[in-house]
A and B are shown apart, each in its own frame.
Chain A
Amino acid sequence: MAVKLAKVKSVGSAQSPLLGAAMFSPAVLYILLIIGAPFVLAVFYAFSDARIASTEIHYVGLENFRSILQSPGFRQALQNSIVFTVVAVAIVVICSTMLSLALEEPFWGRGLVRFLILLPFVAPVSLGTIGWKWILDSIYSVITWVLVQMHFFTPFNAPMWLGEPRLAMGSVICVHCWRLIPFATVVMLAGSGAIPREIPEAASIDGAGFWRTLFQIKIPMMLPIILVAVLFSTVFTFTDMTVVFILTAGGPFDSTQTLPSLAFATGIQGSDLAAGAAISLFLVPVLVAVAFFMLRVASRAEVT
């Protein structure tokens, strides 16, 4: 056996320079071409005056950043991005923790409920969001219809879900949560399922009631996995533009414009590539911080 192993190893090492590189190259190419090149290009554009449909390109230094920071639209988008991310992540984490705890104990029909909860995540984002666009439509909204039928509103003063700044932001956050909660719930279920059954039992024998067991035992024990859910949700939310773009396209009055949607609107639709690139670079510090914490959590995650 030992001889055979040694032989296999020597064959492998004889070919390793080529074979190893060949096996490894797809990963390197993927990272370089799909992630590295666009990132470098974005940095490059951000310091230039690149425009769509223009062949000339000049180095302009920090000019793009200066003008962006002075534009009220950018400040609004930055503020919106922060509100959108903080509120959505908070809702997602609270709801998914509750759901995962509720779905932990077996009950009749649990499989079906779990399936239904997961459904929004597996549906294509754009289709789901288009569905919501109709649900929140100013004329055809079913929500408005139900509220009118229940005499909360008349058809003439019904809320315009996507047409009033605060309501529009609320709607965008809700739809985004609808999409992210299933994902976070699955992550949390893995976390709560990893708590040995004896531990809440020991807590109940020690005299702890429901709330004490929840807040002093279960949630602290789930904290590493909750953190994972928070970090993933933050990335998904902070970089998301599908929901905003389809539901409101940033409106009304830029009240739902976030950094990614502003970058898209400026760089692609407004054909100012340089400004779009500079805006999207403002996502980097947040994402780097999140990535740093994610890697730390991953390496420190321990099984009890």
Chain B
Amino acid sequence: MAVVETRNVTKVFKEGELGAVNNVSLVTHEGEFLVFLGPSGSGKTTLLRMIAGLETPTAGEILIGGRVVNNLTPRERRIAMVFQSYALYPHLSVYKNIAFPLKAQNVPKAQHRQKVEWAAGLLGIGRLLDRKPRELSGGERQRVALARAIVREPAVFLLDEPLSNLDAKLRASAREELEQFHKNVGTTTIYVTHDQVEAMAMGDRVVVLHQGTVRQIGTPKEVYEDPADTFVATFLGSPPMNLLEFSDIIVGFRPEGFLPSDLVPGSKQVTFRYRIKYVEYLGAERVLYGNMEGGSFESKEIISRLSWNMPSGYEAGAVHDFSVAESDLRFFDRKTEKRTHPKPYPWQ
């Protein structure tokens, strides 16, 4: 097991252009499940590939287990990686796929069978050992890729969107299995995804990346409840945080915190007149799309999210009093878009 650290890591693919990764510094904890989360093009995969040794940083240092590894080949870094496409060797059987890292690292041949069976058993693919990758389903391929990664007991696991090729149902169960698997093995894991649900569900901590820079590092609770800037606030959460711009400040609140006034607990709350334009019924919840009526935010578009057990009767076209508890308000500086201290406000 080992700790991965990046110090001011930058990757510029074409000189003169904006880097794919810019000045990223972060440290994992021992045995942690760290998630890189960001939209496509945010540099998360490039950062992972630099940690793996598949890409050379333009500047900065990468440390694994306290040792600078910039000049080490992937094999010397003792890492294992699972690719989005799984990258199984199509001409080799599952057994030979899993045994390949052992062969490549000159593990005595006598130990191969036992180790391969251990890894395959851990992932429940023991009966597939004689098959070729093309004879496997997506979920089985993913397990083979994982088995190939753990078989030589690496110091760090790198996973590049390993669930994105699975269908929705399989993805949920594979996610659970991955979590369970990480608990069993306890190896430091870096997991790249653009799916916030995966990030929130699996991550011990989440690194939110945008345009090659780290916007926030924190537990899922921290990045969701206390976003560091408006990008994090709107990227996490579906539907995203409502943002109201007012002079030099931006005020944000989550749709699930914006509710009919009598449902908002506590006396410290802010109330708006809210006109519902249309309602999305999603079973467990209803999402209301509408706009403010009167006041300084006239006609500003706002989303509200009611859970299934809240009273019905909020229909399109109706105007109601909706409120947010003051403790649920988040304040951002309008210029920098970074989080600032709460300010008193002439709301209406």
**Which A positions have Cβ atoms within 8 angstroms of B?**
196, 198-199, 201-209, 212, 216-217, 220-221, 223, 302, 304
Contact = CB atoms under 8 A, between A and B. Distances in A.
For the complex of A and B, list the 3 residue pairs with the smallest distance between their C-beta atoms, beginning with the closest. A207-B104, A198-B87, A304-B90
A203 B90 CA distance: 12
Contacts of B89: 199, 202-203, 217, 221
Pick the most buried of B85, B87, B133, B152: most chain A CB atoms within 10 A of its CB.
Answer: B87
B73 A204 contact: yes
B100 A205 contact: no
Given A198-B84, A205-B54, 16 more contacts: A196-B85, A196-B87, A198-B85, A201-B83, A202-B83, A202-B87, A202-B89, A205-B79, A205-B80, A206-B100, A207-B152, A208-B104, A209-B75, A212-B104, A217-B89, A221-B90
Contact of A204 (B75, B91, B134, B152): B75
Contacts of B53: 204-205
Contacts of A206: 75, 80, 100-101, 104-105, 148
Contacts of B134: 302, 304
B250 interface: no
Interface residues of B, number: 24
B91 A221 contact: yes
A203 B91 contact: no
B81 interface: yes
Contacts of A207: 74-75, 101, 104-105, 152
Nearest to B158: A205
A223 B73 CA distance: 28
Contacts of B90: 221, 304
Nearest to B84: A198
Contacts of A223: 91
Contacts of A209: 75, 104
Given A206-B148, A302-B134, A201 B87 contact: yes
22 contacts: A196-B85, A198-B84, A198-B87, A199-B87, A199-B89, A201-B54, A202-B81, A202-B89, A203-B100, A204-B54, A204-B74, A205-B80, A206-B75, A206-B80, A206-B105, A206-B148, A207-B104, A208-B75, A208-B100, A212-B104, A217-B89, A302-B134
B85 A220 contact: no
B52 A205 contact: yes
Contacts of A203: 89, 100, 104
Nearest to B132: A304
A171 to B, nearest CB: 38
Nearest to B79: A205
Nearest to A208: B104
A120 to B, nearest CB: 32
